[in-house]
Structure 1
Amino acid sequence: MKPTMKRRDAMALFGLAAWPVQWVSAEDLAVDPKAYFARPQMTGAAFSPDGKRLAMRSRNQEGRAMLSVLDLDTLTPLPLYAAESDDVLSFFWVNNDRLAFTLGDLDAPVADLDAGPGLFAVNRDGKGLRQLVERQRAWAANGNDQRKLLPWNTLPLASQPSQNNGSEIWAFRVEAYDGKDIGYLKLLSLNTATGTAREVDAPLHSEHWWVDQEGRLRLVQTRKGNQATLQWRADEAAPWKTLKAFDPYLEDGNLLVQGIGVDGQIYVATRRGSDKLSMWTLDPSSGELSAKPLARSPQFDVRAHLVQRQDQVLGLRFTIDAEVTQWLDADMKALQQQIDKVLPRTVNRLSVPWSGSEPWVLIEAFADVQPSVYYLFNRSTRKFTKLGAARPDVDPKRQAAMDIHWIKSRDARDFPVWVSTPQGSTGKNLPTLVLVHGGPWVKNTHWAWDAEVQYLNTLGYAVVQPQFRGTQGLGAAWEVASRKQWGLAMQDDVADATRWAIAQGIADPHRIAIMGASYGGYATLMGLARDPELYRCGVAWVGVTDLDLLYGAHWSDFSEAYKRFGMPTLVGDRVKDADMLKANSPIHVAAKIRQPVLLAYGEKDVRVPIEHGKAMRRALAEAGNTRVDWVTYPKEGHGWIEPATKVDFWTRVAQFLARNLAAAPA
């Protein structure tokens, strides 16, 4: 759960080494959004399996994310890989002596992405660098090695077994892809020393795989059309046994695999008669769930990541309103309590080496007012060492706190609303922004630093984030209640949250704007039309404006299978519900929108093509609304990537809001 302290001031580090930075003032941040949307510095770290070294990803002087290794005996870092035009995207240990990593350009908009992530491997001493996977859509030679690289559509599995004494990793190759949906995947075992790969036998149409810590494939999920299965085998010689069959577009099978434990049990999230997901173990031999759940919450779904050591499952890590680690090991529970006393105002994510024999603990500390800060803790010497920070230029004292409130919808359902008010304000009668998240079926907002929200708070606005029906992580009933409710009950929840903020005295009822991206952009436009008395203006970027066009835009990236099996139930049937879809499409209610609107789109967007924006702009013009700000970004897709785009867009937002939410003359 969220720490009990309502306001978080500076982090009390109790004598930890200071990080020399020059704080950015709130005034500077308000003037220049570049400061808030700058690239982070340190963005990840991972122990080698034996715990003798720590791999780190951080930004170098050229601004690129590089990979380095810290020798924990000497605390001496060694740069392993850095490039002038690429960033290290992902990385993981292959074994104690070798790492694998992928590359990409974190600042490149969609139009400039001309290469895949590839795959590379390097020894911990910087030697033995080898490219394994081509980045361009062509074969290429690797130095003097004339063997062909694996094709660009070969990718490593996100989760690799921690116990690996060899050089092989798990990967897959996309064999059939039409630009919208994956038709067939091939599972591979890839040798990072030789670059060779062999196909691994798996059930047809497999798209998710789980291996045990010995590197044996034990569990797969398949999908063909609207039929999915979860299948298990006891060993390589055993036949595959179906544990569950379900429709992947409308349900999750009520059996979400979170991993295979070193104890041989399958760890799953399931409802088991409840509205909320909770964590259980599943005995694969009997198919029986554990007698009691391992972790549950009365208000949130619990889907946990396993925290393991070679000898046991140590704990379960999951996010409800904030990140929580529920330790199953008494020693780790005591260690967490000790660290939390030293760092009382942050969530402190602890990681330990796989071997369990080394004294090191990696701490990633973060909060609503503080981006991640990384520390090493030596359990033998009790000494902390600060490694770095994601945003060392951000002063926690100047950031706005997030607080969660539970309110009732008009149909008497409880749902959460996050509220952030400007640091130092009274928190009352403030110009307010109702920020509607995209998706709409995405995980609920949680307690963490958010650049967009903090920037808007710095401008002097309260930010209200309603977790309207359809938001995932709040139980099955809340998610199912969103079906065929675009512009209807989902929109009511947003309006109810707005009226609640007014009733609580947070929002100045005469100075409220609604804003959001994607579905949030759709809800912004529908809010202006349906509840004009609530909102003085709106900001909608990459927003849906025509529900029928979601089906008809053949150039979008919605797959035909999703349009056939998912959308008719989730959004509405294109034929049977045509009148409802039309009535709840912003382009058909544009005449009701008289307020100022800022519309922004990426010209390369294939999720919500720019035709949505152009149609809305025409509809507003035809309805006589002349207060429309319009901007498009030629190279961007469904969201902003290029730093210059972010600065330009948020500068426009600041100017638009200042112009339209100005206080009324006395």
Structure 2
Amino acid sequence: MKIAYLLASLAAVAGLAHAAPPAKNFFESPQYKNAKLSPSGRYIALGLGDHEQRDAYVVLDTETLGIVGGGRLPDYDVDDIRWVNDTRLVYTVVDRNAAWGDTRFAPGLYSVSRDGKERRQLVEHRGMQFTTGTLIKSRLEPWNTFLLDEDGAQDSEIIYLQRPVWSGKSDYEIERTELIQLNIATQQSSSITHPGVARSWLLDHKGQPSVLVSLKDGQETIHYRQANGEWRAIASQSAYGILDEGLAPIGFYDDKRLLVKTRKKGDKAALYLMNLATGKIDGEPLVSMADFDFEGEMVYSKKRLAGIHYLSDARSSIWFDPALQAAQKEIDRQIAGLTNIVTPPAQPETNWLLVASYSDRQPTFYSLYNSKTHELKGIGGAHPDIKPAEMGQQDMVKYRARDGMEIPAWLTLPAKGGKKLPMVVMVHGGPYVRGNAWGWDAEGQFLASRGYAVLAPEFRGSTGFGLKLFSAGMKQWGLKMQDDIADSVKWAVEKGIADPERICIMGASYGGYATLMGLVNDPNLYRCGVSYMAVTDIPMLYDSGMAVLSDLPDDYRAYGVPMLVGDLEQDAAQFVATSPLKQAERIKRPLLLAHGIDDHRVPFTHFSKMRSALEKAKADAEFAAYAGEGHGWSTLKTRLDFWSKVENFLDKHIGQEQK
């Protein structure tokens, strides 16, 4: 797709097609994804999604866009792609035809030459030795070895991997996370020595492991690796709950200063510089925002900090490099109306920059920009079948809760607009996370394309909007957090956005819990509910529910859950009143309840017990259980089946014919 064609399609935001776009346009694998420039900028690697065959990858010459290399595996899909150096890449694989319960968190890892002719397996698959028949070495890292979230130096054969180590109590409780240095040429590996029980790692601006966060008894300690290789503790704090002065290491400014996120002043967390020698934090922030906590990632080029990609309502960038600042300005002029995220190569030898463009109506589209000639050439988009003219407008709004607290929310309206619309309240999971950001969202836009207004409140307890909003959610499951959701509905009705007779509440995980509690607490507000992967009984969080391989260790249940949700003994009466399982007889509105049988974060027992209680109460409920699926729908087949059920359910209870 050419840039001119893309801009023309964005301009055509009038006139909807008669038929709603098919569901697969929203929920199939992105066609182009994970675009990465090589260290020199001479090549670009892209993931290629394909719903008819395995996802692949391709390497293009940035000057000519000619194909340099690429590949596809017969039994697995190429997933995350990284450059190790300018001649070799690594990629993980998944099986998009298999549900979560069949993948067992074992992606495997491969290295490949730029031209795709030499491929080596680096990490084994769980329970088997998978072979591709092409130059596979016999020595493989164990299956529980994963790519680190950050890129390394990209100037040698060395990469860094993380390896979760289980406690032995179950298959899903992580005791610690080790950092592994791997030479992809020799396949020799070694563990990075460190103090404490490792929780997470951070590489510096030169791609070397330099920060370790350890965890013990609800306390985390931040360690810095000095030039002599020794680790030094630079901060210690509570790992959970309310952190007025808590520190989060974000990246490196240079050899002497660490970038940390903290609430040194006021309600919002900002980005500060910390002197690594003294531990002193600057008095004024480097980056701060009036309405948002800082969230972002560092952009390094030539082994120095070139800029910062950060998130406010939408994503944006700050550039310390004047040339990149000028390039951003010209790109924004040429692709007006979109958010354009620019990424330079790590060690540039060309003038090409990677551009990822998007809006609320436009899914991500990749381009290359030449900072010398100002040429901009399109590569391709994540969802090319999505037509911006058929998508709805998304805006951030704010409303007052009943106690006066200001709550942010995301409102997406159908492309044709309208008043007194049928509305779906989308409740985010977590709940102690940020729910959304401005940009194209498959689920919200799918519902908007069917004529629904979609309102997604960032209720108290949500992160990213300041300490006051977050801390007000402590131990408020089913209480003030629930009131915030109800108050968002009342706001939408008062503003004439929503038809009070056609409102449905919907959500997954904690959002599924809040959906059930919405039907319990506020049956007059909601005509129906869609709850999936839902927590249905709070006490089950303590004995079977919140352990998952990726991010929730035993320590979280011992210290985090009591602080955030409540104490099992002291808050027992509250848990009875705020657990949907104990209140199932009060659910009188139609309900669609769905769950993955292999869900290990919110185990299937939450669903099965709730189903039994609803059946006993003779509730108007539909049920869907997906074999092999976990905490999220991993296959296109499941996604299409589930969202087809959602579409039919909503149409039946709040659709146009119900007016």
User: Aligned AA for 2:467?
Assistant: A
Q: Deviations over 1:435-476 (max 9, x none)?
A: 111111112311111111111111111111111011110112
SS of 1:288 mapped into structure 2? coil
In structure 1, give the amino acid aligned to 2:39.
P
Corresponding residue for residue 621 of structure 1 = 615
Matched, 1:66 2:52: no
- C-alpha distance in structure 1 between counterparts of 2:404 and 2:340, whole Å: 36
Residues 236 and 65 (structure 1), Cα distance of their counterparts in 2 relative to 1, 3 Å cut: farther
Q: 2:417 aligns with which of 417, 421, 425?
A: 425
The answer as to whether partners of 1:484 and 1:572 remain within 8 angstroms in 2 is yes
Amino acid at match of 1:648: D
Identical residues among aligned pairs (%): 36
CA distance in 1 between counterparts of 2:122 and 2:274 reads: 37
Residues 1:660 and 2:650 aligned together: no
Aligned equivalent of 2:198: 206
When structure 1 is superposed on structure 2, of 276-285 and 331-340 the one drifting more is 331-340
Give yes or no for contact 1:279–1:296 (8 Å, CA) kept in 2: yes
1:371 equivalenced with 2:337 (yes/no): no
Of residues 529-538 and 155-164 in structure 1, the stretch that sits farther from structure 2 once superposed is 155-164
Counterpart position of 1:232 = 224
**Alignment-derived partner of residue 451 in structure 1:** 442
Q: What is the alpha-carbon distance in structure 2 between the residues aligned to residue 115 and residue 176 of structure 1?
A: 13
The 5 Å alignment of 1:516-665 reads: 516-553=507-544, 557=548, 559-625=553-619, 627-662=620-655
Whether contact under 8 Å (1:163, 1:213) holds in the other structure is: no
Q: 1:659 to 1:218 in 2, by over 3 A?
A: closer
What SS is found at the alignment partner of 1:338?
Answer: helix
Return the alpha-carbon distance in structure 2 between the equivalents of residues 599 and 138 of structure 1: 35
Distance apart, 1:60 and its partner CA: 5.2
Aligned pairs for 1:158-169 within 5 A: 158-164=149-155, 166-169=156-159
- Give the aligned partner of residue 335 of structure 1: 327
Structure 2 SS opposite 1:101: strand
Matches within 5 A, 1:248-647: 248-250=239-241, 254-262=246-254, 264-310=256-302, 312-426=304-418, 428-553=419-544, 557=548, 559-625=553-619, 627-647=620-640
Moved more, 177-186 or 543-552: 177-186
**C-alpha separation in 2, matches of 1:215 and 1:43:** 24
Task: Decide whether aligned partners of structure 1 residues 662 and 115 sit closer, same or farther in structure 2, where only a CA change above 3 A counts.
Answer: closer
Q: Distance in 2 between matches of 1:72 and 1:588?
A: 60
Query: Mapping of 1:98-137 within 5 angstroms?
Result: 98-113=88-103, 116-137=106-127
Structure 2 CA distance for aligned equivalents of residues 409 and 579 of structure 1: 25
- Which residue number in structure 1 is paired with residue 86 of structure 2? 96
Aligned counterparts of 2:2 and 2:409: Cα–Cα separation in 1: 28
Task: Give how far 1:589 is off.
Answer: 2.1
Amino acid at match of 1:574: L
Q: Determine helix, strand or coil for the equivalent of 2:92.
A: strand
Say if 2:308 and 2:318, in contact at 8 Å, map to a contact too.
Answer: yes
Letter in 2 for 1:464: L
Gaps of 5+ in 1: 1-10
Q: In the TM superposition, what is the alpha-carbon distance from 1:16 to its structure 2 partner? A: 7.1
Deviation of 1:300 (Å): 0.7
* CA–CA distance in structure 1, aligned partners of residues 96 and 522 of structure 2: 39
- In structure 2, the partner of 1:49 is 39
Q: 2: CA distance between counterparts of 1:287 and 1:661?
A: 57
Task: Render the CA deviation track for 1:258-286: whole Å, top value 9, x for unaligned.
Answer: 11234542111111032111111212112
The SS at the match of 1:547 is coil
Query: Relative to 1, partners in 2 of residues 1:665 and 1:408: Cα closer, same or farther, differing over 3 Å?
Result: closer
Distance in 2 separating the partners of 1:665 and 1:176: 52
Letter in 1 for 2:497: I
Range with bigger deviation, 112-121 or 633-642: 112-121
**CA–CA distance in structure 1, aligned partners of residues 489 and 237 of structure 2:** 38
Give the aligned partner of residue 172 of structure 2: 180
Query: Structure 1 CA distance, aligned partners of 2:339 and 2:523?
Result: 40
Maintained 8 Å contact 1:442/1:471: yes
Q: Distance in 2 between matches of 1:624 and 1:122?
A: 58
Query: Alpha-carbon deviations, 1:522-554, whole Å to 9, x = none?
Result: 111111111111111111111111112222337
State which of 66, 70, 76 in structure 2 corresponds to 1:80.
70
SS at match of 1:57: strand
| Partners of 2:136 and 2:502 in 1: CA distance | 66
Kept in 1, the 8 Å contact 2:16–2:389? The answer is no
Q: CA deviation at 1:569?
A: 1.5
Once the two structures are TM-superposed, the CA of residue 111 in structure 1 deviates from its matched residue by 2.6
Distance in 2 of aligned mates of 1:392 and 1:474: 33
Deviation of the 1:61 alpha carbon: 8.0
Amino acid aligned to 1:501: A
Shift of 1:143: 6.8
Segments of 5+ residues of structure 2 without an aligned counterpart are none
TM (norm. structure 2) is 0.93
Q: Distance in 1 between matches of 2:603 and 2:584?
A: 19
* Aligned-partner Cα distance in 1 for 2:141–2:658: 67
Question: How far apart are 1:12 and its partner, in Å?
Answer: 12
Match of 1:370, SS? coil
Structure 2 residue 140 is the aligned partner of structure 1 residue 149: yes
Structure 1 distance, partners of 2:389, 2:137, is: 57
Amino acid at match of 1:510: E
Using the TM superposition, name which of 439-448 and 330-339 deviates more: 330-339
Contact 2:594 / 2:607 at 8 angstroms: preserved in 1?
Answer: yes
Aligned partners of 1:304, 1:415: CA distance in 2, in Å? 22
CA distance in 1, matches of 2:476, 2:368: 48
Cα distance per residue 1:29-68 (max 9 Å; x no partner): 45x4223212210002111112211122122584432222
Q: Contact conserved, 1:163 with 1:310, CA < 8 A, in 2?
A: no
In 2, the alpha carbon distance for the partners of 1:634 and 1:532 equals 31
Query: Is residue 376–residue 385 contact of structure 1 (8 Å, CA) maintained in 2?
Result: yes
In structure 2, the partner of 1:5 is none
Change (3 A) 1:526 1:77: same
| Distance in structure 1 (CA, Å) of the matches to 2:134 and 2:658 | 71
**1:3 counterpart residue number:** none
C-alpha contact 1:262 1:310 (8 A) present in aligned 2: no
Contact 1:261 1:308 survives alignment (8 Å): no
Give, in angstroms, the shift of residue 162 of structure 1. 3.1
Partner Cα distance (2:406, 2:516) in 1: 25
Q: Deviations over 1:173-214 (max 9, x none)?
A: 334343333213332221101111123222232232223344
In 2, Cα distance between equivalents of 1:621 and 1:321: 42
Question: Is the 1:262–1:308 Cα contact (8 Å) retained in structure 2?
Answer: no
CA displacement at 1:430 relative to structure 2: 0.7
Q: Structure 1 residue 491: deviation in Å? A: 0.3
Structure 1 residues 139 and 614, CA gap change in structure 2 (3 angstroms): closer
CA contact (8 A) 2:120 2:136 kept: no
Secondary structure in 2 matching 1:148: coil
> 1:144 and 1:320, CA in 2 relative to 1: closer, same or farther beyond 3 A?
closer
User: Using the alignment, how far apart are the partners of 2:423 and 2:208 within structure 1?
Assistant: 54
Q: Is the 8 A contact 1:556 1:609 kept in 2?
A: no
Q: Is the 8 A contact 2:409 2:457 kept in 1?
A: yes
